[in-house]
Amino acid sequence: MNVAIALGEGRGLAGAYGAGHGATAHLLPLGPALAGLVYRFLAPRSPAAEVILAGWSIALSVGTYILLYCAFDHLRVPRPARLTGLAVGMLAPAYFTAETVDFRVWEGGLATFLAALFLERVLAAYRSVPLGATTYPVAPILCACTLFFVNPPLGVSAFVCLALLGISRLPMRANITAAAVAVGMLSVPIVPWTVRNGLVLGEFVPLRSNAGLELAIANNREMAEAADQSAAMAERLRTIHPTANPEARRQVIQFGEVAYADARGAESRAWIAENPVAAARLWLRHGRQMLIPDRWIIDPNHSITGGIRAFMLQAIGLGGLLGLAVLIRRSGSDGAIYPAIMVLATTLLMLPFQPVSRYTYLLYPMMCFLCATLVSARKVRDGLGGGRGVET
């Protein structure tokens, strides 16, 4: 929110950590830039601006589920299963606040929308591009490059999908050409962003500046040993995060956000090197929490409704993993490797970091459809066996 307001006021990408904090690369620019554009013409936090941004946020969420409905059609998942996934995502929104409020300024809504768009396009290419085709389809490449600049872990997963599609379908020359096109597309946003960061921050920052800080929040003795992870997380934020600790914010203002994050990251890497077993346990826990989140991640206040939401997310996470296994093992569903890569590769890339609700959401829409696939496993079996699925 602070960065979007700064953009709207003409101060550029600044103020991520509050008053006194100048230029920042704490966030990639596309997410806050959209909100900043609205704030540029309408007063920040004005009713008109917030209505427009709330509509944008909701539209991203609705679009995500519709795109996944289409993507799972390419997997020949029958209509009842896809409608179930659509209904769960849109009529029982477990992330209601995120989908109506947070995505106004946070890039998570745009990231999940682009991930769904990419999955739909890469599966469409998988079904339509013949073996030995001489031209790589441009649409999934463009989607992957844009996704990478919004959310790098999801973007890397998308590039793995592109590599698999190219290796399995196209000759080497077409793959080399596609790789060159992807590099060119990526350079369009990344080169000027890197130059900008060098000028205003004095550091080489091609993406985001806060990886070291996020690593330090997640990897430490307190988080590894705490019986109450919610309390440990809150205390860790109060100790080192610049938005919660005035001394940390003073250091960011004095030495720069890159130097501060690098220092915290170095401390965390030293702890990991000294405690590899504890770190491995933490990372395995992070992976499980990304897919099946603990209640404290979803419901830190231990409310009744929050508990219901947490149970729902855990059930969908477990059901989604089982549904993915169902898709992969069914004859003729080899395209299921693509959602598998998006889910599992993204989870692997997020292992060093402590999942919070805005991270677990990134995989939630896809898990809704995978869980619905499990619930409709018999129809999936019949549909895959019959070619286009049961449409009843």
What distance in Å separates the CA atoms of residue 380 and residue 377, rounded to the nearest whole number? 5
Q: What is the total residue count of the chain?
A: 392
Q: What is the mean pLDDT of residues 207-221?
A: 95
- Sort 29 into a burial class: Cβ within 10 Å, 0-12 / 13-18 / 19+: buried
Look at residue 383 and tell me whether its pLDDT is greater than 60.
no
- Model pLDDT, residue 377: 64
Give the mean pLDDT of 75-79. 90
State yes or no: pLDDT of 94 exceeds 90: no
**pLDDT band, residue 302 (cuts 50/70/90):** confident
pLDDT tens, residue by residue, 242-299:
999 999 999 999 999 999 999 999 999 999 999 999 999 999 999 999 999 999 999 8
**Residue 16: pLDDT band by 50, 70, 90 thresholds?**
confident
Q: Is the pLDDT of residue 332 over 80?
A: no
Q: Is pTM beyond 0.75 here? A: yes
Question: For residue 389, what pLDDT is reported?
Answer: 44
Q: What percent of the chain has pLDDT over 90?
A: 72
What average pLDDT does range 297-321 have in this prediction? 91
**Predicted pLDDT of residue 3:** 87
Among the ranges given (34-48, 58-72, 139-153, 321-335), the one the predictor scored with the smallest mean pLDDT: 321-335
pLDDT at 97: 85
State mean pLDDT over 154-173. 95
| Average pLDDT, integer, range 34-60 | 90
Buried b (16+ CB within 10 A) or exposed e, 79-117: bbbbebbbebbbeebbbeebbbebbbbbbbbbbbbbbbb
Q: Average per-residue pLDDT in the chain? A: 91
Query: Which tops the pLDDT comparison, 21 or 88?
Result: 88
Report the pLDDT value the prediction gives residue 8, as an integer from 0 to 100. 85
Q: Residue 331: what pLDDT? A: 53
Q: Would you say residue 388 has pLDDT above 50?
A: no
Tokens of 313: 């997310």
Confidence of residue 22 (pLDDT cuts 50, 70, 90): confident
Q: Identify which of 97, 1, 94, 130 has the alpha carbon closest to the alpha carbon of residue 293.
A: 94
Kindly tell me if the per-residue pLDDT of 315 is higher than 80: yes
Tabulate helix, strand, coil % of the chain (nearest 5): 75, 0, 25
Strands (E) across 226-295 are located at: none
- CA dist 219 to 203, 269, 276, 290, Å? 25, 8, 11, 16
131-135, 136-140, 369-373: lowest mean pLDDT where? 131-135
Higher pLDDT, 141 or 330: 141
Q: Which residue has the higher pLDDT, 379 or 10?
A: 10
Q: Measuring CA to CA, which residue among 55, 154, 155, 147 is closest to residue 110?
A: 147
Query: What sign has the CA pseudo-torsion 30, 35, 38, 41?
Result: negative
User: Is the distance from CB of 52 to CB of 126 less than 8 angstroms?
Assistant: no
* Percent of the chain's residues with pLDDT above 70: 95
pLDDT over 80 at 335, yes or no: yes
> For 365-384, what is the HEC assignment?
HHHHHHHHHHHCHHHHHHHH
Q: What is the mean pLDDT of residues 184-190?
A: 97
Identity of the highest mean pLDDT range in 47-51, 129-133, 339-343: 339-343
C-beta contacts of 266-275 below 8 A and 24+ residues apart: 266/212, 267/216, 268/212, 268/215, 268/216, 268/218, 268/219, 268/220, 269/215, 271/219, 271/220, 271/221, 272/219, 275/221, 275/224
SS3 state at 105: coil
Which CA distances in Å does 55 have to 61, 103, 206, 275, 297?
Answer: 10, 10, 31, 47, 26
The tokens describing 333, both together, are 């569903």
**pLDDT over 80 at 375, yes or no:** no
Grade residue 387 by pLDDT with cuts at 50, 70 and 90.
Answer: very low
Q: Which segments within 100-144 are labelled E, that is strand? A: none
Rounded CA-CA distance 340/136 in Å is: 22
> How many angstroms separate the CA atoms of 56 and 37, rounded?
13
Calculate helix-pair angle for 108-128, 337-349, nearest 10 degrees. Answer: 150
Q: Output the pLDDT for position 379.
A: 53
- Contact 207/201 with Cβ under 8 angstroms? no
